[in-house]
């Protein structure tokens, strides 16, 4: 076996790190070409899965776009946790709208947000009507809730922008 002198070994190691860095740089660059920033959410306009989550080729595997966003913005490792949305917009990759949570939390979120099978009961047009009704004080929260078959709390969330904030 040929012994490689230490300085050379160091050089090779550095080159490898540099290549890795360049790789991540390229991935980041291609990531940002698929993001459309709005005042609220930063929406993924690239490929999506059937639940509306962005799909991104990170150079090794296809990863969720919001998950990749977490990795490039935060040092806290994801580990066995999930990257969850505070804004309930699966296509959003804005780091401040993301948080780490467990699968249990994810399911609890889904329940509070009145989602069944990962899909909202409401259509964007419903949400706009609800906002209008709230803004014009045309009906009480409970009347609106009954009208749309959702909870009073869910109407409140729409009213105060806790949910659907990404919808213009």
> Residue 52: CB partners within 8 Å, gap ≥ 6?
90, 91
83 contributes a contact to Zn ion by CB under 5 A: no
How many CB atoms within 10 Å of residue 6?
A: 8
Q: What's the token pair of residue 91?
A: 């296509």
84 contributes a contact to Zn ion by CB under 5 A: no
How many CB atoms within 10 Å of residue 81?
A: 16
Q: Which span (29-37, 54-62, 76-84, 92-100) binds Zn ion, by CB under 5 A?
A: 92-100
The Cα–Cα gap between 5 and 9 comes to 6
69 contributes a contact to Zn ion by CB under 5 A: no
The only residue of 56, 58, 91, 97 in contact with Zn ion, by rule CB under 5 A? 97
Q: Tell the smallest beta-carbon distance from residue 140 to Zn ion (Å).
A: 29
Q: Which span (18-26, 38-46, 56-64, 65-73) binds Zn ion, by CB under 5 A?
A: 38-46
92 contributes a contact to Zn ion by CB under 5 A: yes
Q: Indicate the SS3 state at residue 83.
A: strand
Question: Which residues lie near Zn ion (CB under 5 A)?
Answer: 41, 87, 89, 92, 94, 97
């Amino acid at each position: 076996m040929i012994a490689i002198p230490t300085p050379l070994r160091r050089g090779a190691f550095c080159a490898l790190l540099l290549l890795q860095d360049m790789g991540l740089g390229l991935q980041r660059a291609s990531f940002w070409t698929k993001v459309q920033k709005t005042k609220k959410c930063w929406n993924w306009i690239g490929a999506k899965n059937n639940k509306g989550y962005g799909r991104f080729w990170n150079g090794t595997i296809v990863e969720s776009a919001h998950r990749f966003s977490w990795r490039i913005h935060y040092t806290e490792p994801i580990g066995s946790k999930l990257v969850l949305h505070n804004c309930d917009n699966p296509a959003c990759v804005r780091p401040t709208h993301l948080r780490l949570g467990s699968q249990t939390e994810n399911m609890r979120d889904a329940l509070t947000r009145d989602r069944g099978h990962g899909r909202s009961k409401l259509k964007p047009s419903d949400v706009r009507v609800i906002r209008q009704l709230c803004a014009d004080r045309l009906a009480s929260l409970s009347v609106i809730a009954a009208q749309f078959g959702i909870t009073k709390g869910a109407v409140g969330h729409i009213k105060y922008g806790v949910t659907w904030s990404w919808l213009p």
